[in-house]
Structure 1
Amino acid sequence: MDHQLLSILFVCACTFLGGLIDAIAGGGGLITLPAYLAIGLPPHLATGTNKCSSTLGTLVAGLRYLKKGKIHLKSAIAASVMSLIGSFLGARLNLFVDEKYLSYVLIAVVPVITVLILFKKDPQPGQFKLKSDLTIIVLAMLCGFGIGVYDGFFGPGTGTFLIFCFTGIIGFDAVTSSGNAKLINFCSNLAAFITFAVHGKIIYSIGLPAAAAGIAGNWLGAGLALRYSAKVIKPMLVVSVLLLLGKIIYDLIL
């Protein structure tokens, strides 16, 4: 079989799996980006092509959550705006601070997050209504800004951390938290996708087939999350944070 076809099939399989996980719990990029690098794409082309597939997949997952009323639009939009600002500042910070220092912090923090995910009871739907609208918006803006800084500075696992913030800090149930994370991820992905496209850093012959596979994975993942709620989201969150921990340790060793 042709080598290029095998490469595309490999990437498509990875983007389907990554999309499935990402639609439920975030962290799909921990699978998809290494797949592009594994077939020999240079880092900038790999990142740009990955944004091509992930942006479309995230859009489909987000629309499915939105259709079922599982996105709290006011907080998601507020967090999206602040995440873009935070991402810009995080990228600037990255120019002056070595990423390895954040890696050391994450090695300590990620296991704690894993334990909290496993043992924290999922908030009941509507529990967040105990907070005022203003409180929810302010908390969402703070979460969006903080995660945006992280995304711009480091990046991996952003969607997973967003879900954790929406459940643990604001009090949304797992499904609404995942839906909100999709909208925020879509905004940041779209901005990055446009940037890479303008600079010619996307290989569409690979990115478009991968996008189709990613759309299928995201569609299925969103459906599973909407149907089974925390029963499927919690295990996938654990998978995502463990993948993140593995990547951090791997990068530090090498």
Structure 2
Amino acid sequence: MPADISLTTTLLLCLAALAAGWIDAVVGGGGLLLLPALLVGLPHTPAAYVLGTNKSTAVVGTAAAAWTYVRKAPIDLRTALRIGLAALGGSLGGAFFAAGIDSEVLRPLIMAVLVGVLAFVLLRPAFGTAPPPSGPVTWRRLLLALLVAGLGIGFYDGLIGPGTGAFLVVALAAILHMDLVTSSATAKVVNVCTNIGALAMFAYQGTVLWQLGALLAAFNFVGGTVGARMALKRGAGFVRGVLVVVVVSLLCKLAFDQWLA
């Protein structure tokens, strides 16, 4: 545990971890809340330790949500694991190139993609709410999902990270014709793979505050479990609403970092 962290800061970080687990479980994007909270709460801690501790927390909540979904949602676990392995490879590649990327160049590109995602969801009210077509997934669609949701978004997660869960939900729903609950469930399995890869790298580098991470992970676990159960109970319309809120929040944060910070 950092020597200079106060009890009040610790409690606030625990609440942030709880809320982030809930957001991640429903639609992804919990890092929008927890990572800034860690940066504010640990102002004298090197960024690498903040990122590593964030991953040690997120992997537990995401795994809890994935386990809840797998037991109760109509998820194709074999397909999810295939995409997850591709995403693991993509995230390793993204992490390899992360040091040489200029965030000032990438932020406008990410914002443009987010505007497209938001317009796509808002202009298609039935997106992710209609039942998926019956029958097995074609190899063409599976290959596209491996390339886009696996390698592509996995690479983005290793390179930058914010909004990965939301991107996965939209990509899986669009490519594999899943409803939003099923795509969110599948995204959790994929996200577990990318988080494990990132955490392994941070652990190897020794940049994880394990005691703080374990404490926050307990709250993240509760949030992830509750969020997954709420998504399953309330259905695709609820997930769609949270998705819109998360995408708008991410757009606002990136715009602030780009022009106002």
Whole-Å separation in 1 of the counterparts to 2:157 and 2:199:
15
Q: Which residue of 1 is the match for residue 144 of structure 2? A: 139
Letter in 2 for 1:9: L
Residues 123 and 171, structure 1, Cα contact 8 Å, conserved in 2: no
Alignment of 1:252 with 2:254, yes or no, is no
Shift of 1:219: 0.8
CA separation of 1:149 and 1:194: change in aligned 2, threshold 3 A: closer
Q: TM-score, normalised by structure 2?
A: 0.89
Tell me the distance in 2 between the aligned counterparts of 1:228 and 1:19: 17
Q: Deviations over 1:109-137 (max 9, x none)?
A: 2122112223321253332x456442342
Match of 2:122 in 1: 118
Q: 1:14 aligns with which of 13, 16, 28?
A: 16
**Correspondent of 2:173 among 155, 164, 167:** 167
Distance 2:33 2:238 in 1: 19
Identity %: 36
2:105 corresponding residue in structure 1: 101
The aligned residue for residue 233 of structure 1 is 239
Matched, 1:4 2:6: yes
Please list, as runs of the form range in 1=range in 2, the aligned pairs for 1:77-226 lying within 5 A after superposition.
77-120=81-124, 121=126, 122-127=128-133, 129=134, 132-143=137-148, 144-226=150-232
* More displaced stretch, 88-97 vs 71-80: 88-97
Partner of 1:30: 32
Q: Are the structure 2 counterparts of residues 70 and 119 from structure 1 closer, same or farther at C-alpha, using a change threshold of 3 Å?
A: farther
Tell me how far 1:188 sits from its aligned partner. 1.0
- Alignment partner, residue 47 of structure 2: 43
Q: Paired residue for 1:54?
A: 58
* Deviation string, structure 1 residues 60-97 (Cα, Å, up to 9, x no partner): 10000000133222221121121122223323443444
Alignment-mate amino acid for residue 138 of structure 1: L
CA distance in 1, matches of 2:58, 2:228: 14
Partner Cα distance (1:132, 1:116) in 2: 23
Say whether the 8 Å CA contact 2:57–2:220 is kept in structure 1: yes
* Aligned-partner SS, 2:215: helix
- Take 1:107 and 1:60, find their aligned partners in 2: how far apart are those partners? 30
Describe the shift of the 1:202–1:94 C-alpha distance in structure 2 as closer, same or farther (beyond 3 A): closer
- Picking from 61, 65, 74, the partner of 1:70 is 74
- Unaligned stretches of 5+ in structure 1? none
Q: Provide the C-alpha distance between the structure 1 equivalents of 2:104 and 2:83, rounded to a whole number of angstroms.
A: 27
Whether the 8 Å contact between 1:78 and 1:137 is mirrored in structure 2 is no
Whether contact under 8 Å (1:100, 1:252) holds in the other structure is: yes
Residue 6 of structure 2 aligns to a residue whose secondary structure is helix
- 8 A Cα contact 2:90 2:153, kept in partner: yes
TM-score after normalising by structure 1: 0.92
Aligned length, in residue pairs: 252
Cα 1:14–1:199 change in 2 (3 A) is: same
Separation in 2 of the partners of 1:172 and 1:47? 32
Contact 2:73/2:232 (<8 A) preserved = no
